[in-house]
Amino acid sequence: MKKIQTCTSSELLMLILAGGILSVMLAYRIFSWLCEVTAFLWWMIPLGLVMAVLAVGGFMVAYRAWRRLQYLRDHPYEDGGSHGEQP
């Protein structure tokens, strides 16, 4: 997560955000499939754990990328360069 805090590329942050959203969507799909299956099998427990990790991890990554994008929007000259600013 520390790399997201220092990232200044909006394109990369948007890809990270999209990846987080897709992992949450995949976790939801796994959850809905597990709810539809009538028989309990042993491998459903690890699949449920994978679903939980995908959901929580995806949300955390997407949230951090979103916050960083908002910060970069509000502070466009964060890297300390002059960028045409008047002294």
What's the pTM?
A: 0.71
Tell me which residue range forms the domain holding 51.
8-74
* CA–CA distance, 48 with 53 (Å, rounded to integer): 9
Express as a percent the part of the chain with pLDDT over 70: 83
Give one DSSP letter per residue of 7-72, joined into a string. ---HHHHHHHHHHHHHHHHHHHHHHHHHHH--S--TTHHHHHHHHHHHHHHHHHHHHHHHHHHHHH
Domain assignment of residue 32, yes or no: yes
In a domain, residue 25? The reply is yes
What are the mean pLDDT values of the chain's consecutive 10-residue runs (87 residues total)?
Answer: 69 88 90 84 86 90 88 73 45
- Amino acid identity at 12: L
pLDDT in tens, 18-27: 999 999 999 9
Asked if the structure places residue 24 within a domain, the reply is: yes
Q: How far apart are CA 67 and CA 64, in angstroms?
A: 5
Q: Give domain status of residue 1, yes or no.
A: no
Q: How many independent structural domains does the chain possess?
A: 1
